[in-house]
Amino acid sequence: MITHNIQEELVITLPKEFDMKANFDYLTREKNECMYEVDNDLLTRVIVIGDTGFLVQLRVIANQEMVVGFLGDARPTKDWQRQEIVQYIRAWFDLDNDIAPFYELAQTDSLLKTPVKNFYGLRLLGIPDLFEALCWGVLGQQINLAFAYTLKKQFVEAFGDCIEWGGKKYWIFPTYERIAQLTPSDLSSIKMTVKKSEYIIGIAKLMVSGEVSKEKLMNMRFDEAEKNLIQIRGIGPWTANYVLMRCLRFPTAFPIDDVGLINAIKDSCHMDRKPTKDEILKLSSPWNNWQSYATFYLWRVLY
């Protein structure tokens, strides 16, 4: 995948299995999203590189190239800044993963053949920042998705920074360094439980100390990384697999107890009851090394 400069823009060559509409439709499914904005086929968000937040605007040309422009005052004048911006976008859209084998297996899979046809070109949209992924996993526990987005918006606007442009605020997710200095009472204005506040602060402190890091987890085998995450207070198997799937990019991550996954399988199989865990394991047996993608596509069926 070739990346090159055109004036102040960066251009990323996209893989064949990419469709702008499929990805932008996914990104606009929740109106309360606060980390980016999609408007007129332009995607705008802040990407933090080092100590600098760059307000980037993405557009896609003929599903072949993604053009990265810059708004505001900050410009990536150094090569390493440009490379890290591109790396972040590639990680966000999972552009370095060849998903052709997934599409091949899905053609003959009773659960997947319709979703891959309807959402062809959808990538497994990630959360490259580990702290953001862990917080999002904790915030989403045992509540519906709409309320989880409300909590995230309250959290980000209370403790994150922003860049103002064109009369709008573009938010930056709070840093773990800042959250580690707080107490649960500092988070009392956000409508989350005290336990969730404790979990998030605890995660931030583990990241400040270096006990938990993306680099460490990515250098582990899947089972080791899962075990390490579950040892963190507030992180159970569902949250661990969610983070392994969307941040750490383990292809076998599989949140088998996820309510959305269970409901998608129930609906797709026209069942009058929820599928059992054994039934899900049997249905998913052909998905070896593609459990994450299969889960993501089945989630997509629901909204």
The residues near 23 (Cβ < 8 Å, ≥ 6 apart) are 93, 121, 122, 123, 125
Mean model confidence pLDDT for the chain: 94
pLDDT at 1: 42
Cβ 207 vs Cβ 173: under 8 Å? no
At 94, the amino acid letter reads D
SS (H, E, C) 148-196: HHHHHHHHHHHHCCEEEECCEEEECCCCHHHHCCCCHHHHCCCCCCHHH
pLDDT tens column, 62-78 = 999 999 999 989 999 99
pLDDT at 154: 96
Q: For 161-180, what is the mean pLDDT?
A: 97
pTM: 0.93
**Burial environment of residue 47 by CB neighbours within 10 A (0 to 12, 13 to 18, 19 or more):** buried
Q: Is the pLDDT of residue 228 over 70?
A: yes
pLDDT tens column, 238-296 = 999 999 999 999 999 999 999 899 999 999 999 999 999 999 999 999 999 999 999 99
Dig out the tokens for 158 from the structure.
């209370």
pLDDT at 2: 38
pLDDT at 143: 81
Distance in angstroms (rounded) separating the CA atoms of residues 137 and 236? 10
pLDDT at 30: 86
Q: Helix or strand or coil: residue 70? A: strand
Q: For 120-138, what is the mean pLDDT?
A: 97
Distance in angstroms (rounded) separating the CA atoms of residues 201 and 210? 14
Cβ 176 vs Cβ 210: under 8 Å? no
Say if strands 37-39 and 9-13 run parallel, antiparallel, or are unpaired: unpaired
At 125, the amino acid letter reads L
pLDDT at 5: 42
At residue 195's C-alpha, the angle toward residues 193 and 198, to 5°, is 115
pLDDT at 7: 52
Q: Is the pLDDT of residue 131 over 60?
A: yes
Q: Helix or strand or coil: residue 248? A: coil
pLDDT tens column, 1-34 = 434 444 589 999 999 999 999 999 999 988 889 9
* Active site residue ranges: 258
pLDDT at 4: 43
Helix intervals (H) in the chain: 20-27, 79-92, 100-106, 113-118, 130-139, 145-159, 176-179, 194-209, 214-218, 222-230, 237-246, 259-268, 277-284, 291-301
Dig out the tokens for 188 from the structure.
């009392």
